[in-house]
Amino acid sequence: MVPAALAAKWLADTWDQNAALYVISPVASVLESLCEGWLVSLLGLPPGSAAGFVSGTSTATLCGLAAGRDTLLRRQGWDADDRGLFGAPEIRVLLGAQAHSTVYKALSILGLGKARVTLLPADDQGRVIPEGVPALDDRTLLVLQAGNVNTGAFDPFAAICGPARAAGAWVHVDGAFGLWAAASERRRELTDGVHLADSWSADAHKTLNAPYDNGIVFCRHREALARAMHMTGSYIVYSRERDGMRYTPDMSRRARGVEIWATLKALGRRGVGELVDDLCDKALALAAGLESQGFAVRNRVCFNQVLAACASPALTEATLAALQASGECWCGGAVWAGEPVIRLSVCSYATTAEDIQRSVRAAAHAREQAARTLQGRTTTAPGPIAGGAQPHRETTS
């Protein structure tokens, strides 16, 4: 993580400030206000958009979808806060076929389960195909993504969000790591049209390199988010200043805005863009290095994600296990197009060109180990056992 952010986190943890209300922690309120303005400008979101500082993208998505659900119902004369969902008008939910699992979790919590979800067709990189989006209306909740969790691909926001806004649909963008592309002059085109959405979720600990846990929900309709998160009590003292709990589901929470402020202050607008570009450039170098070693790269690398595979699914899985066990670099696994892949993310500012090459060498070595192991399994067979003789095994290495 960015050193200034880590230092700020230690300081804020020592202060132990509750960032719920201005009256409880004026410094947390002021820093959140600064971060809100800086982030909205940095990401090219509509001026005046609200930001809520939450634990992660899962919670941020929940908040954005709650604001969307309540707004769509309110337009139909139904107050979900007062009347709940029993007997409420129907809401149609549209998701890309490659939507992240946290979106389904949020929908379930909000009472919008899987049975009402319509999956939109996606291309070979996981991007929603605009021609596959049905006619939209003011009862539609549409979720797009900035950065597919496997390929890093971005949905075509300009082609989809414009018609969605005209129809009165609510669009939420899951931008956990990819929304930060808007801060880069070289990658900003990936997010063209993203500002036309209604709400967005992002993680500052992803891409921006702030400490855990730092999720952010953005909403162009400030009061819609505030209504969805609203709570009252005689002991709650709202002010004319920023009261952070108006934009988050929790009241007692740490002052995580302090370290986001420190991250942005240390990097500046240009520094954030350079950070994004550096991660993406190193992902391209990683993909090229893996290809030079005979790995197949299954995605068109556009951001910081690389999907690699070996000559067979079994070898891919065994190589992943050997690479994880090596301790040289960490990567996860996934299933893409029905086959296992090695999923690599370049996500730390501290990653160097040498780290990339070491990772490539480690992957190649892990594949060699895996191939020997698999070959040994297929060529080793038990011999006949007679008269108490020990089994004979023939192993090829």
Q: Residue 165: inside a domain, yes or no?
A: yes
Domain finish residue from 268, 302, 337: 268
Q: Residue 389: inside a domain, yes or no?
A: no
φ and ψ at residue 52, rounded to 5 degrees: -115, 130
Let me know whether 17 and 126 are in one domain. yes
- 323: domain CATH number is 3.90.1150.10
Give me the amino acid identity at 196.
Answer: L
Q: Residue 309: inside a domain, yes or no?
A: yes
Residue 384, pLDDT score: 41
| Secondary structure element (H or E) that encloses residue 396, with its range | none
Q: Identify the weakest region by mean pLDDT among 8-17, 71-80, 214-223.
A: 8-17
Nearest to 175 by CA among 247, 270, 263, 276: 276
Measured CA to CA, the distance from residue 163 to residue 155 in angstroms comes to 14
Q: Residue 105: inside a domain, yes or no?
A: yes
- For 281-304, the pLDDT digits (tens) are 999 999 999 999 999 999 999 999
Domain finish residue from 268, 296, 324: 268
Let me know whether 258 and 275 are in one domain. no
With a cut of 90, say whether residue 47 has pLDDT above it. Answer: yes
Let me know whether 14 and 108 are in one domain. yes
With a cut of 80, say whether residue 241 has pLDDT above it. Answer: yes
Let me know whether 365 and 249 are in one domain. no
Where does residue 233 rank: exposed (0-12), middle (13-18), buried (19+ CB within 10 A)?
exposed
Let me know whether 252 and 363 are in one domain. no
- For 249-265, the pLDDT digits (tens) are 999 999 999 999 999 99
- For 160-192, the pLDDT digits (tens) are 999 999 999 999 999 999 999 999 999 999 999
Let me know whether 140 and 62 are in one domain. yes
Q: Residue 311: inside a domain, yes or no?
A: yes
Please, which pLDDT band fits residue 381 given cuts at 50, 70 and 90?
A: very low
Domain finish residue from 245, 268, 291: 268
- What is the per-residue DSSP string for 315-364? HHHHHHHHHHHHSS---EEEEETTEEEEEEE---TT--HHHHHHHHHHHH
Measured CA to CA, the distance from residue 135 to residue 119 in angstroms comes to 14
Let me know whether 134 and 209 are in one domain. yes
Let me know whether 134 and 216 are in one domain. yes
Please, which pLDDT band fits residue 393 given cuts at 50, 70 and 90?
A: very low
Nearest to 188 by CA among 219, 160, 218, 146: 146
Please, which pLDDT band fits residue 379 given cuts at 50, 70 and 90?
A: low
The structure tokens listed for 358 are 């070491």
> Could you give the residue ranges of the DSSP H alpha helices within 255-306?
257-292
Measured CA to CA, the distance from residue 73 to residue 141 in angstroms comes to 11
- What is the per-residue DSSP string for 101-162? HHHHHHHHHTT--GGGEEEEPB-TTS-B-GGGPPPP-TTEEEEEEBS-TTT--B--HHHHHH
For residue 236, give Cα distances in angstroms to 245, 252, 256, 357. 10, 12, 21, 55
Which domain, by its residues, includes 94? 3-268
User: Which single residue is written with the structure tokens 């370290």?
Assistant: 259
Let me know whether 43 and 64 are in one domain. yes
Terminal alpha carbon distance of the chain: 43
Assess contact for 60 and 225: CB atoms under 8 A. no
Return mean pLDDT, the chain: 93
Let me know whether 250 and 278 are in one domain. no
With a cut of 50, say whether residue 392 has pLDDT above it. Answer: no
Nearest to 356 by CA among 320, 333, 328: 328
With a cut of 90, say whether residue 386 has pLDDT above it. Answer: no
Let me know whether 260 and 367 are in one domain. no
Q: Residue 391: inside a domain, yes or no?
A: no
Q: Residue 116: inside a domain, yes or no?
A: yes
Please, which pLDDT band fits residue 117 given cuts at 50, 70 and 90?
A: very high
With a cut of 60, say whether residue 105 has pLDDT above it. Answer: yes
Provide the number of structural domains found in the chain: 2
Assess contact for 274 and 61: CB atoms under 8 A. no
For residue 245, give Cα distances in angstroms to 227, 257, 260, 309. 11, 12, 17, 45
Residue 376, pLDDT score: 85
Assess contact for 225 and 219: CB atoms under 8 A. yes
Let me know whether 257 and 315 are in one domain. no
Q: Residue 396: inside a domain, yes or no?
A: no
Q: Show the CA angle centred on residue 128, arms to residues 339 and 162, nearest 5°.
A: 165
- 181: domain CATH number is 3.40.640.10
Residue 164, pLDDT score: 97
